[in-house]
Protein backbone atom coordinates (compact mmCIF):
# COMPACT_ATOMS: atom_id res chain seq x y z
CA UNK A 1 0.00 0.00 0.00
CA UNK A 2 1.25 3.47 -0.82
CA UNK A 3 2.46 4.87 2.52
CA UNK A 4 1.21 8.31 1.56
CA UNK A 5 -2.43 7.14 1.53
CA UNK A 6 -3.81 6.23 4.99
CA UNK A 7 -6.55 3.63 5.32
CA UNK A 8 -9.20 6.22 6.13
CA UNK A 9 -8.44 8.08 2.91
CA UNK A 10 -8.74 4.91 0.89
CA UNK A 11 -12.29 4.26 1.96
CA UNK A 12 -13.35 7.88 1.66
CA UNK A 13 -11.88 8.27 -1.79
CA UNK A 14 -13.28 5.11 -3.31
CA UNK A 15 -16.77 5.77 -2.05
CA UNK A 16 -16.67 9.33 -3.29
CA UNK A 17 -15.21 9.01 -6.75
CA UNK A 18 -14.17 5.52 -7.80
CA UNK A 19 -10.84 3.77 -7.52
CA UNK A 20 -9.10 5.30 -10.48
CA UNK A 21 -9.06 8.68 -8.76
CA UNK A 22 -6.76 7.80 -5.84
CA UNK A 23 -3.36 6.38 -5.20
CA UNK A 24 -0.09 5.82 -6.98
CA UNK A 25 1.44 2.80 -8.67
CA UNK A 26 5.05 3.58 -7.74
CA UNK A 27 5.56 0.23 -6.00
CA UNK A 28 3.18 -1.87 -8.07
CA UNK A 29 4.03 -5.42 -9.01
CA UNK A 30 4.43 -6.46 -12.63
CA UNK A 31 2.60 -9.70 -11.89
CA UNK A 32 -0.61 -8.64 -13.61
CA UNK A 33 0.86 -7.81 -16.98
CA UNK A 34 3.20 -10.80 -16.87
CA UNK A 35 0.34 -13.25 -16.33
CA UNK A 36 -1.01 -15.54 -19.01
CA UNK A 37 -4.13 -13.38 -19.04
CA UNK A 38 -2.07 -10.57 -20.54
CA UNK A 39 -1.20 -12.54 -23.64
CA UNK A 40 2.09 -14.12 -22.66
CA UNK A 41 3.56 -11.07 -20.95
CA UNK A 42 2.41 -8.23 -23.24
CA UNK A 43 0.66 -5.33 -21.55
CA UNK A 44 -3.03 -4.62 -22.04
CA UNK A 45 -4.77 -1.26 -21.87
CA UNK A 46 -8.38 -1.26 -20.72
CA UNK A 47 -10.84 0.54 -18.47
CA UNK A 48 -12.98 -1.70 -16.27
CA UNK A 49 -16.05 -0.49 -14.41
CA UNK A 50 -17.34 -2.21 -11.29
CA UNK A 51 -19.74 -1.60 -8.41
CA UNK A 52 -20.93 -3.28 -5.25
CA UNK A 53 -19.53 -4.18 -1.85
CA UNK A 54 -18.47 -1.30 0.39
CA UNK A 55 -16.82 -3.96 2.56
CA UNK A 56 -14.23 -4.56 -0.18
CA UNK A 57 -14.12 -1.01 -1.55
CA UNK A 58 -10.68 -0.16 -0.05
CA UNK A 59 -9.23 -3.27 -1.72
CA UNK A 60 -10.53 -2.31 -5.15
CA UNK A 61 -9.25 1.23 -4.60
CA UNK A 62 -5.70 0.17 -3.82
CA UNK A 63 -5.60 -2.56 -6.47
CA UNK A 64 -6.78 0.08 -8.94
CA UNK A 65 -3.84 2.23 -7.89
CA UNK A 66 -1.47 -0.75 -8.25
CA UNK A 67 -2.64 -1.46 -11.79
CA UNK A 68 -3.06 2.10 -13.05
CA UNK A 69 0.51 2.29 -14.36
CA UNK A 70 0.16 -1.14 -15.96
CA UNK A 71 -2.46 -0.07 -18.46
CA UNK A 72 -5.57 -0.93 -16.46
CA UNK A 73 -7.95 1.64 -15.04
CA UNK A 74 -10.36 0.22 -12.45
CA UNK A 75 -13.37 2.41 -11.72
CA UNK A 76 -15.30 1.05 -8.75
CA UNK A 77 -18.24 2.48 -6.84
CA UNK A 78 -19.06 1.18 -3.36
CA UNK A 79 -22.85 1.08 -3.57
CA UNK A 80 -23.51 -2.12 -1.60
CA UNK A 81 -23.46 -5.75 -2.70
CA UNK A 82 -27.11 -5.90 -3.74
CA UNK A 83 -26.87 -2.82 -5.95
CA UNK A 84 -23.62 -4.06 -7.46
CA UNK A 85 -25.11 -7.39 -8.51
CA UNK A 86 -28.14 -5.57 -9.93
CA UNK A 87 -25.92 -3.25 -11.97
CA UNK A 88 -23.89 -6.19 -13.28
CA UNK A 89 -27.07 -8.04 -14.28
CA UNK A 90 -28.28 -4.89 -16.06
CA UNK A 91 -25.02 -4.65 -17.99
CA UNK A 92 -23.99 -1.23 -16.68
CA UNK A 93 -20.74 -2.51 -15.12
CA UNK A 94 -18.12 -5.06 -16.17
CA UNK A 95 -17.86 -6.73 -12.77
CA UNK A 96 -19.59 -6.71 -9.42
CA UNK A 97 -18.27 -6.88 -5.89
CA UNK A 98 -20.46 -8.93 -3.54
CA UNK A 99 -19.88 -10.30 -0.08
CA UNK A 100 -22.46 -13.10 -0.11
CA UNK A 101 -22.29 -15.65 -2.89
CA UNK A 102 -24.76 -15.32 -5.74
CA UNK A 103 -28.13 -16.73 -4.72
CA UNK A 104 -30.28 -18.60 -7.23
CA UNK A 105 -32.47 -15.53 -7.62
CA UNK A 106 -29.36 -13.44 -8.40
CA UNK A 107 -28.23 -15.90 -11.05
CA UNK A 108 -31.68 -15.80 -12.63
CA UNK A 109 -31.28 -12.07 -13.30
CA UNK A 110 -27.92 -12.51 -15.07
CA UNK A 111 -28.98 -13.16 -18.66
CA UNK A 112 -25.87 -12.61 -20.81
CA UNK A 113 -23.94 -15.75 -19.94
CA UNK A 114 -22.62 -17.91 -17.14
CA UNK A 115 -21.33 -15.85 -14.21
CA UNK A 116 -18.22 -16.70 -12.22
CA UNK A 117 -17.68 -15.59 -8.64
CA UNK A 118 -14.16 -15.48 -7.22
CA UNK A 119 -13.78 -15.27 -3.42
CA UNK A 120 -10.50 -13.41 -2.97
CA UNK A 121 -10.44 -11.89 0.53
CA UNK A 122 -11.84 -12.31 4.03
CA UNK A 123 -12.81 -9.67 6.55
CA UNK A 124 -14.10 -9.67 10.09
CA UNK A 125 -17.48 -8.04 10.71
CA UNK A 126 -16.91 -6.39 14.07
CA UNK A 127 -19.43 -5.59 16.78
CA UNK A 128 -18.02 -2.09 17.19
CA UNK A 129 -19.21 0.12 20.01
CA UNK A 130 -18.77 3.59 21.46
CA UNK A 131 -19.17 3.36 25.22
CA UNK A 132 -17.53 5.79 27.61
CA UNK A 133 -15.46 4.00 30.23
CA UNK A 134 -15.27 0.69 28.38
CA UNK A 135 -12.22 0.75 26.15
CA UNK A 136 -11.45 -2.96 25.96
CA UNK A 137 -12.40 -6.41 27.15
CA UNK A 138 -16.13 -6.50 26.32
CA UNK A 139 -17.46 -9.95 25.43
CA UNK A 140 -20.70 -10.72 23.60
CA UNK A 141 -22.35 -13.84 22.24
CA UNK A 142 -24.73 -14.30 19.32
CA UNK A 143 -27.86 -14.56 21.45
CA UNK A 144 -27.08 -11.28 23.21
CA UNK A 145 -26.31 -9.47 19.97
CA UNK A 146 -29.63 -10.70 18.57
CA UNK A 147 -31.52 -9.39 21.62
CA UNK A 148 -29.78 -6.01 21.22
CA UNK A 149 -30.81 -5.81 17.57
CA UNK A 150 -34.32 -7.02 18.40
CA UNK A 151 -34.67 -4.19 20.93
CA UNK A 152 -34.97 -6.64 23.84
CA UNK A 153 -31.75 -5.40 25.48
CA UNK A 154 -31.75 -1.61 25.68
CA UNK A 155 -29.03 -0.64 28.16
CA UNK A 156 -25.39 -1.63 28.41
CA UNK A 157 -25.67 -2.82 32.02
CA UNK A 158 -28.27 -5.45 31.12
CA UNK A 159 -27.87 -8.69 33.09
CA UNK A 160 -27.09 -10.70 29.93
CA UNK A 161 -24.15 -8.43 29.11
CA UNK A 162 -22.87 -8.25 32.69
CA UNK A 163 -22.99 -12.06 33.02
CA UNK A 164 -20.50 -12.39 30.16
CA UNK A 165 -18.25 -9.67 31.55
CA UNK A 166 -17.55 -10.33 35.24
CA UNK A 167 -15.19 -7.80 36.72
CA UNK A 168 -15.87 -5.22 33.99
CA UNK A 169 -17.56 -2.01 35.10
CA UNK A 170 -20.29 -1.28 32.55
CA UNK A 171 -22.34 1.94 32.67
CA UNK A 172 -26.12 2.06 32.39
CA UNK A 173 -25.90 3.99 29.12
CA UNK A 174 -28.77 3.49 26.68
CA UNK A 175 -27.84 1.34 23.67
CA UNK A 176 -28.23 3.02 20.29
CA UNK A 177 -28.44 0.38 17.55
CA UNK A 178 -26.95 1.28 14.16
CA UNK A 179 -27.51 -0.82 11.05
CA UNK A 180 -27.12 -0.58 7.30
CA UNK A 181 -29.85 1.21 5.33
CA UNK A 182 -28.71 -0.10 1.92
CA UNK A 183 -28.71 -3.60 0.40
CA UNK A 184 -25.57 -5.01 1.93
CA UNK A 185 -23.58 -8.22 1.98
CA UNK A 186 -22.27 -7.20 5.40
CA UNK A 187 -25.88 -7.17 6.59
CA UNK A 188 -26.49 -10.64 5.19
CA UNK A 189 -23.43 -12.02 6.97
CA UNK A 190 -24.27 -10.35 10.26
CA UNK A 191 -27.93 -11.38 10.20
CA UNK A 192 -26.95 -14.96 9.36
CA UNK A 193 -24.86 -15.01 12.53
CA UNK A 194 -27.76 -13.63 14.59
CA UNK A 195 -30.15 -16.21 13.13
CA UNK A 196 -27.77 -19.02 14.06
CA UNK A 197 -28.19 -18.15 17.75
CA UNK A 198 -31.69 -16.70 17.92
CA UNK A 199 -34.80 -18.58 16.74
CA UNK A 200 -36.72 -15.32 17.19
CA UNK A 201 -34.38 -13.55 14.79
CA UNK A 202 -34.46 -16.42 12.30
CA UNK A 203 -38.27 -16.46 12.18
CA UNK A 204 -38.60 -12.69 12.46
CA UNK A 205 -36.31 -10.21 10.70
CA UNK A 206 -34.51 -13.12 9.02
CA UNK A 207 -31.40 -13.22 6.85
CA UNK A 208 -30.87 -11.09 3.77
CA UNK A 209 -28.94 -8.18 2.29
CA UNK A 210 -31.84 -5.87 3.15
CA UNK A 211 -34.27 -6.57 6.00
CA UNK A 212 -36.93 -4.79 8.05
CA UNK A 213 -35.07 -3.79 11.20
CA UNK A 214 -37.01 -3.96 14.49
CA UNK A 215 -35.08 -1.03 16.02
CA UNK A 216 -32.21 1.29 15.34
CA UNK A 217 -30.85 3.96 13.05
CA UNK A 218 -29.93 3.19 9.45
CA UNK A 219 -26.80 4.44 7.69
CA UNK A 220 -25.48 3.83 4.20
CA UNK A 221 -22.35 1.76 3.71
CA UNK A 222 -19.76 0.55 6.17
CA UNK A 223 -18.49 4.13 6.31
CA UNK A 224 -21.96 5.44 7.17
CA UNK A 225 -22.43 2.97 10.03
CA UNK A 226 -18.93 3.76 11.28
CA UNK A 227 -19.67 7.51 11.28
CA UNK A 228 -22.94 7.02 13.18
CA UNK A 229 -21.27 4.86 15.85
CA UNK A 230 -18.44 7.35 16.23
CA UNK A 231 -20.84 10.23 16.85
CA UNK A 232 -23.03 8.55 19.48
CA UNK A 233 -22.07 7.47 23.00
CA UNK A 234 -23.72 4.11 23.68
CA UNK A 235 -23.88 3.13 20.01
CA UNK A 236 -23.21 -0.31 18.58
CA UNK A 237 -22.89 -1.17 14.90
CA UNK A 238 -21.64 -4.00 12.72
CA UNK A 239 -18.65 -2.65 10.81
CA UNK A 240 -16.00 -4.31 8.66
CA UNK A 241 -12.71 -4.40 10.52
CA UNK A 242 -10.74 -2.09 8.21
CA UNK A 243 -13.36 0.63 8.75
CA UNK A 244 -13.37 -0.04 12.51
CA UNK A 245 -9.59 0.36 12.65
CA UNK A 246 -9.71 3.57 10.59
CA UNK A 247 -12.06 5.07 13.18
CA UNK A 248 -10.17 3.82 16.22
CA UNK A 249 -13.17 1.80 17.39
CA UNK A 250 -13.32 -0.64 20.24
CA UNK A 251 -14.96 -3.89 19.26
CA UNK A 252 -16.14 -6.89 21.22
CA UNK A 253 -14.69 -10.37 21.45
CA UNK A 254 -17.48 -12.59 20.13
CA UNK A 255 -18.26 -16.15 21.22
CA UNK A 256 -17.70 -18.69 18.46
CA UNK A 257 -19.24 -22.07 17.74
CA UNK A 258 -16.70 -23.75 20.03
CA UNK A 259 -17.68 -21.55 22.96
CA UNK A 260 -14.57 -19.36 22.90
CA UNK A 261 -14.63 -15.57 22.91
CA UNK A 262 -12.42 -14.54 20.00
CA UNK A 263 -11.11 -11.12 19.02
CA UNK A 264 -11.24 -10.15 15.34
CA UNK A 265 -7.64 -10.38 14.11
CA UNK A 266 -6.12 -11.33 10.76
CA UNK A 267 -5.22 -14.71 12.22
CA UNK A 268 -8.69 -15.45 13.60
CA UNK A 269 -10.26 -14.17 10.38
CA UNK A 270 -8.11 -16.43 8.21
CA UNK A 271 -8.93 -19.36 10.48
CA UNK A 272 -12.59 -19.10 9.43
CA UNK A 273 -11.68 -20.27 5.91
CA UNK A 274 -9.48 -23.20 6.90
CA UNK A 275 -11.01 -26.57 6.06
CA UNK A 276 -14.02 -25.17 4.20
CA UNK A 277 -16.00 -27.35 1.84
CA UNK A 278 -15.88 -25.44 -1.45
CA UNK A 279 -18.89 -25.87 -3.75
CA UNK A 280 -18.45 -26.16 -7.51
CA UNK A 281 -19.51 -22.54 -8.08
CA UNK A 282 -17.06 -21.34 -5.36
CA UNK A 283 -19.97 -19.90 -3.34
CA UNK A 284 -18.33 -20.33 0.06
CA UNK A 285 -19.56 -18.92 3.37
CA UNK A 286 -17.29 -18.26 6.35
CA UNK A 287 -19.95 -17.14 8.83
CA UNK A 288 -19.88 -19.09 12.13
CA UNK A 289 -17.03 -21.37 11.04
CA UNK A 290 -16.38 -24.59 12.91
CA UNK A 291 -12.67 -23.91 13.51
CA UNK A 292 -12.13 -23.34 17.25
CA UNK A 293 -9.60 -20.60 16.50
CA UNK A 294 -11.94 -18.66 14.20
CA UNK A 295 -13.61 -15.34 14.86
CA UNK A 296 -17.27 -16.20 14.20
CA UNK A 297 -18.48 -13.25 12.10
CA UNK A 298 -16.23 -13.40 9.05
CA UNK A 299 -17.33 -12.49 5.56
CA UNK A 300 -15.72 -13.46 2.31
CA UNK A 301 -15.97 -11.12 -0.65
CA UNK A 302 -16.37 -12.07 -4.31
CA UNK A 303 -15.43 -10.49 -7.61
CA UNK A 304 -18.10 -11.44 -10.15
CA UNK A 305 -18.04 -11.40 -13.94
CA UNK A 306 -18.79 -13.69 -16.90
CA UNK A 307 -16.90 -16.88 -17.74
CA UNK A 308 -16.96 -15.60 -21.34
CA UNK A 309 -17.20 -11.80 -21.18
CA UNK A 310 -17.09 -11.44 -24.98
CA UNK A 311 -20.33 -13.38 -25.37
CA UNK A 312 -21.80 -10.80 -22.98
CA UNK A 313 -20.75 -8.00 -25.33
CA UNK A 314 -17.19 -7.18 -24.19
CA UNK A 315 -14.38 -6.80 -26.72
CA UNK A 316 -11.32 -9.04 -26.56
CA UNK A 317 -9.00 -6.34 -25.22
CA UNK A 318 -11.29 -5.53 -22.30
CA UNK A 319 -11.88 -9.23 -21.60
CA UNK A 320 -8.11 -9.72 -21.46
CA UNK A 321 -7.83 -6.82 -19.04
CA UNK A 322 -10.58 -8.29 -16.89
CA UNK A 323 -8.78 -11.63 -16.65
CA UNK A 324 -5.55 -9.82 -15.82
CA UNK A 325 -7.33 -7.92 -13.04
CA UNK A 326 -8.81 -11.10 -11.54
CA UNK A 327 -5.43 -12.85 -11.74
CA UNK A 328 -3.84 -9.93 -9.91
CA UNK A 329 -6.38 -10.17 -7.08
CA UNK A 330 -5.24 -13.77 -6.55
CA UNK A 331 -1.52 -12.99 -6.96
CA UNK A 332 0.23 -9.81 -5.84
CA UNK A 333 -3.11 -8.42 -4.72
CA UNK A 334 -3.11 -10.80 -1.77
CA UNK A 335 -0.29 -8.75 -0.23
CA UNK A 336 -2.36 -5.60 -0.69
CA UNK A 337 -5.25 -7.32 1.06
CA UNK A 338 -3.15 -8.02 4.16
CA UNK A 339 -1.83 -4.44 4.30
CA UNK A 340 -5.40 -3.14 4.33
CA UNK A 341 -6.35 -5.27 7.39
CA UNK A 342 -8.21 -7.94 5.44
CA UNK A 343 -7.19 -11.59 5.48
CA UNK A 344 -5.95 -13.40 2.36
CA UNK A 345 -7.63 -16.61 1.27
CA UNK A 346 -6.03 -19.98 2.03
CA UNK A 347 -4.01 -21.71 -0.70
CA UNK A 348 -6.56 -24.49 -1.24
CA UNK A 349 -9.30 -22.00 -2.10
CA UNK A 350 -6.91 -19.86 -4.15
CA UNK A 351 -6.06 -22.85 -6.35
CA UNK A 352 -9.75 -23.41 -7.14
CA UNK A 353 -10.19 -19.70 -7.87
CA UNK A 354 -7.18 -19.69 -10.19
CA UNK A 355 -8.50 -22.62 -12.17
CA UNK A 356 -11.74 -20.71 -12.87
CA UNK A 357 -9.86 -17.54 -13.86
CA UNK A 358 -7.50 -19.52 -16.11
CA UNK A 359 -10.53 -20.99 -17.88
CA UNK A 360 -12.00 -17.58 -18.85
CA UNK A 361 -12.73 -17.33 -22.58
CA UNK A 362 -13.51 -14.79 -25.30
CA UNK A 363 -16.10 -16.17 -27.70
CA UNK A 364 -15.17 -19.72 -26.81
CA UNK A 365 -11.40 -19.25 -27.11
CA UNK A 366 -9.15 -19.16 -24.05
CA UNK A 367 -8.13 -15.59 -23.21
CA UNK A 368 -4.40 -15.20 -23.81
CA UNK A 369 -4.28 -17.89 -26.51
- CA distance linking residue 191 with residue 179, whole number of Å: 11
> So what's the pLDDT on residue 242?
87
| Of 125, 95, 109, nearest in space to 318 by CA | 95
How far, in Å, CA of 342 to CA of 269, rounded? Answer: 8
Nearest to 21 by CA among 75, 66, 67: 75
Shared domain check, 220 and 89: no
Length of the chain: 369
119 shares its domain with 25: yes
Residues 146 and 97 in one domain: no
Domain extent for 341: 7-123+300-366
- Do 75 and 151 sit in the same domain of this protein? no
Residue 81 and residue 197 in one domain: no
Cα separation, 156 vs 284, whole angstroms: 35
pLDDT tens-digit series, residues 79-96: 999 999 999 999 999 999
Is 289 among the domain residues? no
Side-chain half-sphere exposure of 51, counting CA atoms within 13 A: 18
Let me know if residue 40 belongs to a domain.
Answer: yes
Is the per-residue pLDDT at 363 higher than 90? yes
Which stretch of DSSP H or E encloses residue 26? none
User: In whole angstroms, how far apart are CA 12 and each of 18, 171, 265?
Assistant: 10, 33, 23
For residues 144 and 236, state if they share a domain: yes
Please give the mean pLDDT across all residues of the chain. Answer: 89
Region 180-190: mean pLDDT is 94
Q: Is residue 288 part of a domain?
A: no
Q: Assess if residue 278 is contained within a domain.
A: no
Residue 279 lies in a domain: no
Count other Cβ atoms within 10 Å, centred on residue 216: 20
Number of neighbours of residue 144 by Cβ within 10 angstroms:
23
CATH number at residue 354: 3.40.190.10
- Among the three residues 271, 290, 311, which one is the final residue of a domain in this structure? 271
In a domain, 30, yes or no: yes
Distance separating alpha carbons of residues 333 and 114, to the nearest angstrom: 25
Domain match, 257 and 163 both = yes
| Percentage of the chain modeled with pLDDT above 90 | 83
pLDDT at 234: 97
- pLDDT over 50 (residue 26): no
Does some domain include residue 286?
no
Tell me the sheet residues that pair with 47. Answer: 73
Question: Rounded to an integer, what distance in angstroms lies between the CA atom of residue 61 and that of residue 43?
Answer: 21
Alpha-carbon span 282 to 119, nearest angstrom: 7
Q: Do 218 and 231 share a structural domain?
A: yes
Q: Tell me: the pLDDT tens digits for 308-352?
A: 999 999 999 999 999 999 999 999 999 999 999 999 999 999 999
Question: What is the spatial distance between Cα 281 and Cα 111, in angstroms, rounded to a whole number?
Answer: 17
107-139 as b/e, with b when 16 or more CB fall inside 10 Å?
Answer: beebeeeebbbbbbbbbbbbbbbbbeebeeebb
Residue among 152, 148, 116, 101 at smallest CA distance from 129: 148
232 shares a domain with 131:
yes
Instruction: Label residue 44 by pLDDT band (50, 70, 90).
Output: confident
At 11, phi and psi to the nearest 5? -65, -45
pLDDT digits (tens, 9 = 90+) for 240-249: 998 898 888 9
Q: Is 201 exposed, middle or buried (0-12, 13-18, 19+ CB in 10 A)?
A: buried
Asked if residues 54 and 184 have their Cβ atoms less than 8 Å apart, the reply is yes
Is residue 100 domain-shared with residue 153, that is, in the same domain? no
Under DSSP, the state recorded for 216 is: S
Q: How far apart are CA 288 and CA 255, in angstroms?
A: 10
Least confident of 33-47, 121-135, 193-207: 33-47
Q: Are residues 147 and 191 in the same domain?
A: yes
Contact in structure between 13 and 61 (CB atoms under 8 Å): yes
Q: Using CB atoms within 10 A of its CB, is residue 346 exposed (0-12), middle (13-18) or buried (19+)?
A: middle
User: Which residues lie across from 178 on neighbouring strands?
Assistant: 217, 237
Q: In this structure, what are the phi and psi dihedrals at residue 349, rounded to the nearest 5 degrees?
A: -70, -40
Q: Which of 271, 287, 310 is the last residue of a domain?
A: 271
Q: What is the pLDDT of residue 41?
A: 39
Read off the pLDDT of each residue in 212-218 and give the average, rounded to a whole number: 97
58 near 18, Cβ under 8 Å? Answer: no
Q: Are residues 73 and 86 in the same domain?
A: yes
Prediction pTM value: 0.84
Give the three-state DSSP class for 221: helix
pLDDT tens figures, 284-297:
999 999 999 999 99
Q: How far is Cα 194 from Cα 183, in angstroms, rounded to an integer?
A: 17
Domain count, the chain: 2
Whether residue 282 is contained in a domain is answered as no
Amino acid sequence: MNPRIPLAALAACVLASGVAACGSDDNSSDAATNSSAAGGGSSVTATLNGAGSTFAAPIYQQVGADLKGKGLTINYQGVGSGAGVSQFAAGTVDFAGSDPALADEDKATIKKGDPIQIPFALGAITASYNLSGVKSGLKLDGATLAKIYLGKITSWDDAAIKAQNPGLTIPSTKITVVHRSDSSGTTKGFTQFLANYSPEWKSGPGVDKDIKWPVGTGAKGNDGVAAAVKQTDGAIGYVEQAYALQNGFTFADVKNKSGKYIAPTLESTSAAAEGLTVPADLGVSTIDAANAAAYPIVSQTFAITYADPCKAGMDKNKATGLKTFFAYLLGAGQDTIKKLSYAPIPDALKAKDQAVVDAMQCNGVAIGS
